[in-house]
Amino acid sequence: MKMTDFDQDGLEDFFAAARATPPPMPADLQARILADAAAHMPAARPAWHRVLWQLLGGSAGVGGLVTAAVVGVWIGVAPPANLPDLAGQVVAGQMGGTAESEAETELLTSVYGWDMEES
């Protein structure tokens, strides 16, 4: 009998019957496989926004940062009377004018000792 004379249909029926009723896996083998797979799994990493939130100090730290940012923008846009108006100077410098008035020059000279004369 040659290999090519072998009954392919009978062999295929045999494999179909074996696939229809697979042998059950023992419970202890399945438990060992799952435990080994769990040991090789990488640890779950927390989401990046949670890590950032913890690094910034939680709600207290983020609240302080937001407050500092808002106050910084407020002082930058509308400075108190004893601080120079740097935002106005930058805007006036871009428009080609000067932001210093007589009062600003007098204040800076008297309070800080700055000489605002053009050189």
Task: State the average pLDDT over residues 59-81.
Answer: 89
Q: What is the pLDDT, as a whole number, of residue 40? A: 93
Q: Look at residues 65, 91, 86 and name the one whose alpha carbon lies nearest to residue 75.
A: 86
What type of residue is 55? Answer: L
More confident site: 22 or 29:
29
Q: What is the pLDDT, as a whole number, of residue 71? A: 93
Token code pair at residue 8? 């392919």
- Distance (Å, whole) CA 96 – CA 30: 80
User: Taking the complete model, does pTM exceed 0.75, yes or no?
Assistant: no
- Distance (Å, whole) CA 72 – CA 85: 13
Q: What is the pLDDT, as a whole number, of residue 31? A: 96
- pLDDT for 73-112, tens place per residue? 888 788 777 777 776 677 666 555 454 566 666 666 666 6
Taking the alpha carbons at both ends of the chain, their separation in whole angstroms is 112
To the nearest 10 degrees (0 to 180), the angle between helices 58-77 and 48-55 is 70
Instruction: Using alpha carbons, list the distances in angstroms from residue 8 to 15, 19, 51, 64.
Output: 11, 17, 61, 78
In the chain, where are the structural domains located? 8-37, 49-111
